[in-house]
Structure 1
């Protein structure tokens, strides 16, 4: 791969027509996966022995920049960098610094990322310098042994140090925790207390049937509707009229003073207000996380498409965005969606 040279600072060309799907929802949020690789192997996200993509199939940094900039030019105002683990991708900070030109121009309102936290001691300062103001860190447990089990070998202390480095750099940090009935369900109140005591928001997420893994997700599924009821037996949860452009429903925990989010793709469909799409590191656009829809934008740009032709391809893909996902936790021989979350982009 040739070294990445970010384009000179300038605004993405603005297209006056909103990027709207066939159901009248305006798309303003792009989640951009930059790699399918990760330095952890979380049991609900990856198979233990993953086969990763060959380099030729992965978009170059220049291609990632072009595609992201095209979406920004069509009205996307929030860009989240994802993976795999985005910070293990060589040259990643150069890409983020390049994309920050859209923050400077005002075309982009927010540039952020989701990370497992293992690389933050190295990159937190650089992220802040590039205009990143908040990040999501995936963390399901505060027990070192359980963390090692869930991540297949990860070091909890490294992640906690990364969170501290991010806060020291001025980044706002939100924890994402997947609720697992047999592993961390009993610990979640302690995780929430720990986070709120450190000025960290927390969002709980139901496990989703994506990709073949060794375990049966039906054994680990925990309804957050049930969990919320349990939390309300000893905490006061006040619903907040808050939207961050995502599917979470937020409450304030009176006893801790912190904010808690619930993402419930299984027990409560949140598709009616969906404003997001996902672009994988191979250039495949998924307009719905829970459907096998796919549009190959890599073929478009590698086929020599002009900017106008690329925009047309994006609009066509968005127009076909499904009305909603079909996630269902049930005992069956296959997951609801064949691709792994690590491939799709978390």
Structure 2
């Protein structure tokens, strides 16, 4: 049997996040600058190369595959890749195929995603106020996203809403967002804003809303019960006893989750980042293209995993932004 992927801290790598494009039809203020320069299309891995690379990781023990971007559903022909990954679900080698999306294209693709074997999706949504949505996304249209979410649910997809907690922006919507998700039977996860990329005039410290404070506000109204449940990602979950809904908290700053990190990220150009919060990365495109045989590729993958750090260095505690990384969130897909 082929030995599985284990990092220097004895964490088995079971979860792969693949960014299929750096492009997006929104320009969220914590993710991108307004005037982004995107990669030339010739620099991107082809859909066939994404298939081969993902398949190599699955052969090395990856069980969960999340497709990200940018906005993954704006990549031309992307369903070819999703359908190709469906064969690994059918074989049992892959336990879950899922996607993180801004929701703008779900009206077009929800049924196709379900047919490919996707059963759960994450939709990034930070406000239910149409004017504020246009402000935070710069280019986005809230009605289009809400219709996309409806299409996803009608197609049989389980939807989880991901909300970045932003001080002074969506603090006043904490309970309305939670109530909406409860009514619509959707899970909800709050995420602390991370110091990634040059985003122009936006101030990270002004944006940062500590999730321990957010949770304390929820606990003023609801009874929260900690859950031991994990979905393969970094979120810690509670059950809201009054509604029965599940709410997650992703806390890279106030309480990091590095000790249980089982995931790595591939960019659309074939770079592997073994930590979202570190600059270190390795090239897999070269070994991928060097030979039709996967020997060089598997050697490169193992060498990259051997460099996986213990954790990230994000820190706002001294009222300065420490541990910042230069690339935008869209480059590695969050």
Asked if Structure 1 and Structure 2 have the same fold, meaning a TM-score greater than 0.5 normalized by the shorter chain, the answer is yes
CA distance in 2 between partners of 1:230 and 1:165 (Å): 32
Q: 2:305 aligns with which of 318, 322, 325?
A: 318
The CA deviation string for residues 246-275 of structure 1, in whole angstroms up to 9 with x for no partner, is 110000111222110000000001000100
CA distance in 1 between partners of 2:136 and 2:180 (Å): 19
Q: Are residues 320 and 219 of structure 1, via their aligned partners in 2, closer, same or farther at CA, if it must alter by over 3 Å?
A: same
Structure 2 residue 208 is the aligned partner of structure 1 residue 224: no
The CA deviation string for residues 110-130 of structure 1, in whole angstroms up to 9 with x for no partner, is 000000000001100000001
Which residue matches 1:343? 331
Which residue matches 2:132? 146
Pairwise CA distance, 1:186: 1.5
Q: 2:21 aligns with which of 35, 56, 74?
A: 35
The CA deviation string for residues 304-328 of structure 1, in whole angstroms up to 9 with x for no partner, is 3631221111011001100000011
CA distance in 2 between partners of 1:277 and 1:206 (Å): 20
Q: Calculate the TM-score normalised by the size of structure 2.
A: 0.97
CA distance in 2 between partners of 1:197 and 1:162 (Å): 17
- Show the 5 A alignment for 1:102-113: 102-113=88-99
Structure 2 residue 295 is the aligned partner of structure 1 residue 308: yes
The CA deviation string for residues 148-170 of structure 1, in whole angstroms up to 9 with x for no partner, is 00000211011110010000000
Query: Is contact 2:314-2:322 (8 Å) kept?
Result: no
CA distance in 1 between partners of 2:268 and 2:81 (Å): 13
CA distance in 2 between partners of 1:339 and 1:332 (Å): 19
Query: Is contact 1:137-1:176 (8 Å) kept?
Result: yes
Structure 2 residue 52 is the aligned partner of structure 1 residue 66: yes
CA distance in 2 between partners of 1:151 and 1:39 (Å): 9
CA distance in 2 between partners of 1:131 and 1:174 (Å): 17
Which residue matches 1:123? 109
Which residue matches 1:294? 281
Task: Provide the secondary structure at the position in 2 that maps to 1:56.
Answer: helix
Q: Calculate the TM-score normalised by the size of structure 1.
A: 0.94
The CA deviation string for residues 129-154 of structure 1, in whole angstroms up to 9 with x for no partner, is 01100100000000000000000021
CA distance in 1 between partners of 2:270 and 2:139 (Å): 30
Segments of structure 1 that go 5 or more residues without pairing to the other structure are 1-14
Structure 2 residue 9 is the aligned partner of structure 1 residue 19: no
Which residue matches 2:79? 93
Q: CA-atom RMSD, angstroms? A: 1.2
Q: Are residues 327 and 207 of structure 1, via their aligned partners in 2, closer, same or farther at CA, if it must alter by over 3 Å?
A: same
CA distance in 2 between partners of 1:197 and 1:305 (Å): 51
CA distance in 2 between partners of 1:173 and 1:333 (Å): 33
Which residue matches 1:235? 222
Query: Is contact 1:210-1:341 (8 Å) kept?
Result: yes
Task: Provide the secondary structure at the position in 2 that maps to 1:293.
Answer: coil
Pairwise CA distance, 1:288: 0.4
Query: Is contact 2:178-2:188 (8 Å) kept?
Result: yes
Task: Provide the secondary structure at the position in 1 that maps to 2:11.
Answer: coil
Which residue matches 1:156? 142
CA distance in 1 between partners of 2:269 and 2:92 (Å): 28
